[in-house]
Chains A and B, each alone.
Chain A
């Protein structure tokens, strides 16, 4: 679960990591009032969206006058920000963070993340902080440290980091406490990623987190009620929200063929087969390895709700799941729909014949296939026939 920058910075403050003085604006009426409170020569106006790449997309503005600040805040608040990470629809800006300017002496990159190959929490640091950290020429300047979970972020571990970064000794205490506090923040909140970019030394010699990104483990939210409160539904599309509500795995894609599949691997393979057949999948949708009547019906609701979907491919490898249960889900969902979309169905498993009988009795508008590839080809064909 992603949270906004301003929420991440509140979290950092809970862990004694300094952030710039700031104010949050959610309504136009607050803009002037807030900007007049800024005491530094410049103010930084930052769009609050769940996506990176804000700087390059115009979502972060350094305002050198009150007028510049008002113009930027008005432009951003209530609009949508399209970055290289949001997709073409962009993300709504429902809040703008206004921060006091900081005199930057040096920028660093600092992050804790899960390292799947070493099966540890990893610390990533680099002297190349700022907007270009993800570019290839900087990849080699990143130092990586696996933190042994039984040892944790001890002083000697943190000192090693200071030495590798060739920090002067007077900066060591600030770094040691920052690394230890951040590691504690990571483990205590079941984080998947905490990124501070940039972590800066100001000209006055202070260490400050200028930006912060945090992602928490959805599977651990049951033990973090405080984090659940930080969720912002408005950063998700309606389909994504609906899927989350139904407890289904859904990812919106750019195509026109809706697919409903049981199991994540098979769902990906189904998308691939659609592409191979010359179509474009509209989504990834996994209704769970053991599909149920309800999960299939809910999944179809999501596909029919998506106005871009021109046809539907249902691929359920029942195996242990009974096909008649799946068919019941399909019928239950379609009874409520008046949209006439071509549907191709592939069912495999027990009671397959009975299931297909029931579906044929319900509607004559469905095609049945025996395998994945011919299903993918047929749905592409059915959609083309209607054009």
Chain B
């Protein structure tokens, strides 16, 4: 089992015909993901990598039954691309695109409020259910199937952790990157709730970073609602106040959002916080009795 995507997911790629879109479409196809359609306005009727291209999302869904969309378009076209999938009520929209203006995201989030659409991202690596389906840009081979649910605000740091888990023979149920932007569609708690309901997920690994208070809220949620053990790592313990550390959302303001306060809050809520990424694999193995 897994959350949100599996071998039956029918994927459509918005922005499939561009260089970046084609590259990652090929990588997803090679992983075994079931990509059924591409959408690029003006390129309808073409075929790329054996996948039919449509002008609009609605057409693509009508003809292929796609139920997951991945967005690989440049930032200035991303707002429109997300709206198009949201309007067509695609249940899961994964936005990889980074550098989307924040006020575009505010409009999108206001619109999504009462709709049956989950947005993952933006500025995220996507998600992967190892051995079944990859909707994202992460390297497939560092993952193996298993009982660990991973949720993260980061990209490459998540790959690093997946490798640590895989090396310790702790496979993953689903690995979800929620993205590094301050305004994002899916938060830690959304993912943690899904892991709680997934019987195959036995252990949760959460990767946070400085900025905001999502990690603190997630810790409180875990204590109140979760029956599963959790391990966490917080990046940015050495980050200075007031500077954005790459991710638009990774900034300490007025003494709030520091790694120290997140670590303390998570520990208070019963989460095991590790100081080194490399400790995650061995600790997971110990908890799972491997």
Indicate whether A251 sits within 8 Å of B209 (C-beta atoms), given known contacts A265-B157, A268-B239, A271-B238.
no
B residues near A117, Cβ cutoff 8 Å: 212-213
Is A190's CB under 8 angstroms from B159's CB?
Answer: no
Task: Give the complex CA separation of A176 and B210 in angstroms.
Answer: 36
User: Which among B102, B207, B213, B245 is the interface contact of A267 at CB below 8 angstroms?
Assistant: B245
Q: Mark A268-301, 1 if CB is under 8 A from B, else 0.
A: 1101111110000100101001100000000000
Is B27's CB under 8 angstroms from A269's CB?
Answer: no
Is B101's CB under 8 angstroms from A372's CB?
Answer: no
Question: At the interface with chain A, which of B3-11, B85-93, B190-198, B246-254?
Answer: B246-254
Q: Any chain A CB within 8 A of the CB of B240? A: yes
B residues near A190, Cβ cutoff 8 Å: 101-103
Indicate whether A220 sits within 8 Å of B246 (C-beta atoms), given known contacts A264-B180, A268-B209, A373-B276.
no
Is B155's CB under 8 angstroms from A251's CB?
Answer: no
A residues near B107, Cβ cutoff 8 Å: 149
Q: Any chain B CB within 8 A of the CB of A130? A: no
User: Which among A120, A222, A251, A286 is the interface contact of B243 at CB below 8 angstroms?
Assistant: A251
Closest 6 CB pairs of A and B: A265-B154, A264-B246, A263-B156, A319-B139, A265-B157, A220-B101
- Report the count of interface residues on B (CB-CB < 8 A): 59
Is A317's CB under 8 angstroms from B156's CB?
Answer: yes
User: Which among A116, A251, A269 is the interface contact of B240 at CB below 8 angstroms?
Assistant: A251
Q: Any chain B CB within 8 A of the CB of A371? A: yes
Task: Give the complex CA separation of A283 and B138 in angstroms.
Answer: 26
Is A149's CB under 8 angstroms from B106's CB?
Answer: yes
Is A286's CB under 8 angstroms from B238's CB?
Answer: no
Is A268's CB under 8 angstroms from B183's CB?
Answer: no
B: which residues have CB within 8 A of A? 27, 75-76, 99-107, 109-110, 125, 137-139, 142, 152-160, 163, 180, 182-183, 207, 209-210, 212-213, 233, 235-240, 242-250, 254, 259, 275-278
Is B237's CB under 8 angstroms from A272's CB?
Answer: yes
A 228-251 contacts with B by CB, 8 A: 249, 251
B residues near A65, Cβ cutoff 8 Å: none
Indicate whether A265 sits within 8 Å of B212 (C-beta atoms), given known contacts A120-B106, A348-B163.
no
A residues near B109, Cβ cutoff 8 Å: 119
Other contacts beyond A219-B99, A317-B159, A319-B142: 5, CB < 8 A: A263-B156, A265-B250, A266-B155, A267-B245, A275-B238
Is A249's CB under 8 angstroms from B276's CB?
Answer: no
Q: Any chain B CB within 8 A of the CB of A57? A: no
User: Which among B125, B183, B247 is the interface contact of A119 at CB below 8 angstroms?
Assistant: B183
Task: Give the complex CA separation of A259 and B132 in angstroms.
Answer: 36
Task: Give the complex CA separation of A131 and B189 in angstroms.
Answer: 38
Task: Give the complex CA separation of A148 and B106 in angstroms.
Answer: 10
User: Which among A150, A220, A265 is the interface contact of B103 at CB below 8 angstroms?
Assistant: A220
Task: Give the complex CA separation of A262 and B180 in angstroms.
Answer: 14
